Amino acid sequence: MVRVTDGREFWTGRRVGNGRTAGSKPISSGPASPRAGPATNRTRRTDADATAALLASVPFPKCLGKPDEWAQLAEAMITSGCFNGECVRLDGAIRMAPADPHRRHPMPEAFIVAAARTAAGRRNGRLSGWHPVDLAAQVLNALVDRAGIDPAAVDDVIMGCTMQVGEQSNNVARNAVLASRLPESVPGTSLDRQCGSSQQALHFAAQAVMSGTQDCVIAAGVESMTRVPMGTSSSLPRKNGLGFYMSPEIQARYPGIEFSQFMGAEMLSKKYGLSKDALDRYALESHQRAIAATQAGRFATEIVPVAVRRADGSRDNGELHTVDEGIRFDASLEGIAGVKRLQEGGVITAANASQIADGATGVMVVSERGLKALGCKPLARVHHLSLLGHDPVIMLEAPIPATLNALKKTGLGIDDIDAFEVNEAFAPVPLAWLQATGADPAKLNVNGGAIALGHPLGASGTKLMATLIHVLQQRGGRYGLQTMCEGGGMANVTLIERL
C-alpha cells in the first residue's frame, strides 16, 4: 500500500512469483481506509499494470523531485517486490514497514570457477607409485592456479574418499592440504558417500557458499585403488576381529543378504531386460567415444599433467601422465564379448564394468561475493542439488528415481538437458537409466565413461563434473546433469548451467 499525505492510499498487494502482483484497484479519494476486502477478492495484475495504476492514482509529491524520477522509483519498488502488502508513506521521505517474514527471497548462488582431474591410472599402472595424499595435492595446486587466486582465500577443502584406511586414513583432505601449496590456515575434511563421495563434496561446498558462511571451497576426491584396494575399509577390520558393518538390526531387516554391487548389477540387468550383448555393445561404445575424445584433444583442458610414478619406483624417464590409461585403443566387440562372466549364467563381466583406477579430481566453488572479491570467472552455476535413498539390495537403480525427482523439482524436462554424465559403474546402470528416463543417448557420456576411463571410486564425482563442464563448453550446451549410483542404494544429482 502507498499512502500519501492527503490521506489517499493504494494497495499494491503481494508479489506472487513470475513477476506478477496480486492487488486491488487503487482507492482514488477519501480518507485512509482499512484494507479493501479480503485477499480472495483482489484482482491479479502485472507489475506494469500496478505501476501505471500507482502513477495515475497518487499525486506526484513535489518533495521527491522530478516526475520522471518518481516514476522510476515507483516502478523499481514494485518490480523489486518492495510493496509486499506493507505501507509506504510519501511525506518528504520514504519509509517502508518491515517486510513479511514469510516472503521468499532469492537463494544465494554457487559458481564453479575451476575444474580439473588427473588422467586415470590403471591398477599397478602409471600412477601406482603416487601416495594418494600427494596425488590429491597436485589437483589442489592446479585448481588454485587455474582460478588465479591467493591460496589463503580457500575457506575449506572437502574431499571424498571411499577407502579411508592406510594411506588414505586420518583425514586425507587435511593431509592433502598439508602436502600442497595451500597454507596451513586452510582446513580440510573427508567424507564417504561411497562412489558418490566427491559429488557429495561438491554438494557440501555449494551449500556452504550458498549459506553465506564461506566464499571459496574446494570440493575434491582421491582414490588409489592400487595402494588401498577396494573393500579394504571393511575387510581389513573384519579379518582382525574388529567386526563388520552388517549390524544385527540390518541383518534382521535384510535376512540372508549381504549387499553386493555385483549382484545388484545382475538384478538391474534382469529387471530392465538387458542382454549381455547389449551390455557388451555399450562397453565398446564407451571405449570408442573415449578414443575419439582423446584423439580430438577434448580432455586436454580438464586434465592436470602429473609425473609418471610406478609402484616399483620407476619414473618412465620423467614422462608426464596425460592420457587415461584404461582406454583400449584396440577394443573390439569380439574381445569384449570373450571376457569371462563374473558368475555362471550372468551377464556382467570385467569388460562391461568400470575399471579399477587411481586418480584425483576437484572443482573450486565460490559464492557471488567470492567472484567479485577474487576476480574469478565462473565456468558454471550450480542450478540444483539433490539426493535420494533407494533399495540397497538392487543398489544401482537409485539414479533413475533421483533424476526424475530432480527434474520435477526444477521444472525442467529431460530434453532441456544438453549433456548427461551417468557413472558407468556397470553397463546396465546407464542403459537402464536411458530406458527409464527417455533421454537422448547421444547426450549421454559423450566422451566415454568409467568402463573406458576408469572409476577411482571416491574421486569419480568431481571427475564427472570436470568432464561435464568441459563438454558443455565444447558443445555450447546450457544445462548439464550428473548422477551416479552409490553403495547402500543412493544417488546424488547435480544440475549445472554453463556460463
Q: Which of 287, 390, 455, 470 is catalytic?
A: 455
Task: Residue 43: count other Cβ atoms within 10 Å of its Cβ.
Answer: 10
C-alpha cell at 323: 592420457
Whether the CB-CB separation of 264 and 487 falls below 8 Å is answered with no
Q: What is the rounded CA–CA span in Å between residue 189 and residue 487? A: 21
Whether the CB-CB separation of 140 and 180 falls below 8 Å is answered with yes
Whether the CB-CB separation of 149 and 209 falls below 8 Å is answered with no
Q: Beta strand 2-4 with 88-90: parallel, antiparallel or unpaired?
A: parallel
The verdict on whether 63 is a catalytic residue reads no
Q: State which amino acid sits at residue 497.
A: E
Cell 610414478 locates to 309
Residue 225's nearest CA partner among 420, 367, 92, 358 is 358
Task: Residue 210: count other Cβ atoms within 10 Å of its Cβ.
Answer: 18
Q: State which amino acid sits at residue 473.
A: Q
Size of the chain in residues: 499
| Residues with Cβ within 8 Å of residue 138, at least 6 apart in sequence | 118, 180, 304, 306, 360
The verdict on whether 376 is a catalytic residue reads no
Q: Which of 161, 195, 216, 376 is catalytic?
A: 195
Q: What is the rounded CA–CA span in Å between residue 258 and residue 238? A: 14
Whether the CB-CB separation of 102 and 332 falls below 8 Å is answered with no
Per DSSP, the residues of 312-377 read TS--GGG-EE-S-TT--TT--HHHHHTSPBSSTT---BGGGBPPPEEEEEEEEEEEHHHHHHHTPP
Q: Which of 161, 216, 376, 485 is catalytic?
A: 485
Q: What is the rounded CA–CA span in Å between residue 269 and residue 397? A: 10
**Torsions phi, psi for 317 (to 5 deg):** 55, 35
Whether the CB-CB separation of 195 and 485 falls below 8 Å is answered with yes
C-alpha cell at 69: 524520477
How many CA atoms lie within 13 Å of 311's alpha carbon, on the beta-carbon side? Answer: 12
> What H or E segment, with its residue span, contains residue 56?
helix 47-57
C-alpha cell at 122: 590403471
Whether the CB-CB separation of 199 and 464 falls below 8 Å is answered with yes
Q: Which residues are catalytic?
A: 195, 455, 485
